[in-house]
Each structure stands twice: as structure tokens, then as C-alpha cells.
Homo-oligomer: A and B are copies of this chain.
Amino acid sequence: MIKELHFEIAEFQARLTAVKKEMATRGIKILVLSEPPNQNYLTGYNAYSFYTPQMVIVSLDHDEPIWVGRLMDRVSAAMTTYLADQNIRAYPETHVHSSVLSAYAFMADIVKEVGGEKACIGVEMGGYYYSARAHEDLTRALPLAKFVDADLLVGWVRLIKSPTEIAIMRQAGQLADVAMQRVINMVEAGVRECDIAAAIYHQQVSGRPEFGGDYPSCPPDLCIGERSIAPHAAWTDEPLPISSVVNLELSGCRHRYQVNLSRPIVVGKPSTAFQKLSEIVVEGLNAGLESVRPGRTCSEVFSAFSQALARHRIEKESRIGYPTGIAFPPASGERTASIRKGDETVLQPGMVFHMIPGLWLDNIGITISQSFAVTDRGFEPLTMTARKLFVK
């Protein structure tokens, strides 16, 4: 059978060791991981199967994690993980969307098997794939266990990327760049919004001659004309008018590692106010980026940004950045650190952020962003698209 592993087994083992160390510190014996990025991080698993119950179980007493999913996805686990066969478990197809059979009860039996009946069990309470039902079924099936919230336990370990991960993210950044360039080339009056979105997808996935891309964890945000102030609006099939603003956020995704990129593109002549606003955003963005170095906090980076804005008497309250890395739908950002006031996370080499200061003033909005890795001395940009307003 083919094996598709993008990391050395030693790297998976190092990740597991770091996670187990944190588990031990918190007194957690067994970790039940519902989040696809965490499952991918610790095992390599990659298939679009997380819309049915799927968990990775880490036990302090067990050498390898255990993947548990749907029977028909077992083969994907064999192909994409480094796990031994006995650590790949599957519940029968009869459990899928059943109102009587619980896949979580099946998983609880495996937790018992690895000594978890009366253990302290960590679960990801705030995860996208840990539903109220999952928690209810698991706690009911394990009445003697103690459940604790281990949300983001793996997330904080993932925050610092290895050199191999950074290398993959450089490729993801290149995918974002070629997608953005394609849009800049094609945008003009009369082009339908849906055709712009289609070209983005095509370029993200087709990628470059040397390597292609994965599906992104979220659609491009294509905020056009009146919808330029609606940051997560859906596109339409209307043609672009003679004069309009396209606020675009897209991404490149390589081996599930995602790098985001946002730029405004104006068809026609931008208003003076919009041009001016774009320059202020870039000034703030650059000030934030130049302040990045190991030892600084996220809050200090935010301060550098907001001081630059303050010179133009603009205040911004909301966060201007979030970490990215492994991404599965629905989200692209990791939910750990934020570049915002009061976030005391200390920057370390290997962290990757998407700094995206969006300014929405009255009826105009603009975002110009930069994804970067923290290096020994500063930041490494992961995309090369110029930080500016593009005018067509």
C-alpha cells in the first residue's frame, strides 16, 4: 500500500513527546483529540472524513496515538499515518448518522481498553468537532473518569513550527502569491465575480509547475463594491462595474499548511480617501512587522502598529493577527495567540502569523496583510506580493 507521509517519523515522535509532557504537567492521562489539525499533526492523517465522528486518542502509557474513525476511512488512515495497524480502529458504517448507535460510545470502549476507565481525560471543549453530543455520549460511557478541558493543549505545541513545517509554509506562500497575481491580472470591469473566485480556486489548487496545492480551509473572501465592508460575504455572478473596490483575502495550502494573503484591488481610479487609507494601513503593517523579534510579546507588536495609526488619529481595537499552520475547514487561523492589546504571548522563532489589519471606516473598508515566520532576529515574509493597493 502507498504511504503518504510528509514528515520523518522522528518529527511525529517529537510532537508526541511535547504533547505528552504537557499532559503530564496537567495531570491528564488520556487525551481525546477531536480537531482535524491536531489529528494531522500527531499522526499525519489527512482525508476529508471529519464530518463523521473521528478522534485521535493519546495515552501516556501508549507508544503511539490511536486513530478512530469510520470504517470506509480506515484505508486513508493506513495510507497517511505512521501508525501501526493495531492503532487504527474503525466503527462500523451502521453508526454513521444513526439515531441509535453512538460512534462516541465505540470510542469510549477504546479509552477503557487503554486504561482510561477511571482516568483524567482531556477533551477539546471549544473544538469545532467536539459537539455537545460527543461530550455527552463520552461522559455517559465513562462515568468514573474525570473530564478536563484540554482545548488548545496541542494548539500551543503547534504554535512553534519546525524547519520542515516552515519549508512547507514557504511553498504555501508561493501558492497564495500566484493566486493573487492571477486575480490582479484578470480584474477589470465586466468580469463576473464568480469568475474571479473560480480563477482563485484554480490557481490555488493547480499551483505551480513544481508543485500543486491542497483545498483551502475556507473560500476566498471576495468583498466587492458595496460588499467591500462585509468581510465574509459570498460572491455573486454579477459583472464588476466600471469602478469598484475588490477586497480580497485568499490563501495557499500545501500539505494542509495554509498561508493567507489579503490585498485590495481597485478598478478605475481610487478615491483620494481610499488611497490615503491604504497608505496608512501599509504604514501600520510595516511598523508592526518591523517590531517583530523573539522575546517581544504579541501585545508589543500590536502597540507598534497602533502607534503608527495613532499618528493619523486612527484607533483600532480589534486584533490584527493570528497564527496559521495546519488548516482544515472551517477555520484558517489557529485559536491560540492573537496579535492584540493585552496578549502576552512571547514571540519565538518558528511561530507563523498572518498580520491582517483591516480598517473599516464608514462605508469603505480595506485590508492589506502579511504572513510571516518569526526568525532569530526578526521576521521572514512568507508571501512576496507587494504590500500596497493595486489599481487596474
Contact = CB atoms under 8 A, between A and B. Distances in A.
Nearest to A99: B152
B129 A132 contact: no
A318 B96 CA distance: 9
Given A232-B47, A330-B51, A133 B128 contact: no
B76 A230 contact: yes
Interface in A120-140: 123, 125-136
Given A131-B127, A207-B237, A360-B72, A197 B215 contact: yes
Interface in A236-278: 236-237, 256
A229 interface: yes
A41 B185 CA distance: 37
A47 B219 CA distance: 10
Interface stretch (A12-20, A21-29, A188-196, A368-376): A188-196
A205 interface: yes
Interface string A226-237: 110111111111
B198 A202 contact: yes
Interface in A180-231: 192-195, 197-199, 201-207, 211-215, 218-219, 221, 226-227, 229-231
Contacts of A132: 123, 125-127, 130-132, 134-135
Interface in A29-86: 46-51, 72-73, 75-76, 79-80
Given A2-B227, A79-B233, A236-B4, A50 B330 contact: yes
Given A132-B135, A194-B207, A198-B203, A233 B330 contact: no
Contacts of A72: 231-232, 318, 358, 360
A133 B126 contact: yes
A135 B123 CA distance: 14
Contacts of A80: 233-234
Chain copies in complex: 2
A100 B246 CA distance: 35
B205 A335 contact: no
Contact of A319 (B93, B198, B211): B93
A234 B212 contact: no
A185 to B, nearest CB: 15
Interface string A287-323: 0000000000000000000000000000001110010
B125 A128 contact: no
Nearest to A4: B236
A144 interface: no
A194 B205 contact: yes
A1 interface: yes
A93 B233 contact: no
Contacts of A131: 125-128, 130-132
A348 interface: no
A177 interface: no
B229 A75 contact: yes
Given A73-B230, A97-B319, A212-B236, 14 more contacts: A48-B218, A51-B218, A72-B232, A76-B230, A97-B335, A126-B132, A126-B133, A194-B206, A198-B201, A198-B203, A207-B237, A211-B237, A214-B234, A329-B329
20 contacts: A1-B226, A50-B330, A51-B128, A93-B319, A96-B319, A97-B333, A133-B149, A133-B151, A192-B206, A193-B212, A194-B205, A194-B212, A198-B201, A198-B203, A198-B204, A201-B205, A207-B237, A214-B234, A329-B329, A330-B330
Interface of A: 1-2, 4, 46-51, 72-73, 75-76, 79-80, 93-94, 96-97, 123, 125-136, 149, 151, 192-195, 197-199, 201-207, 211-215, 218-219, 221, 226-227, 229-237, 256, 317-319, 322, 329-331, 333, 335, 338, 358, 360
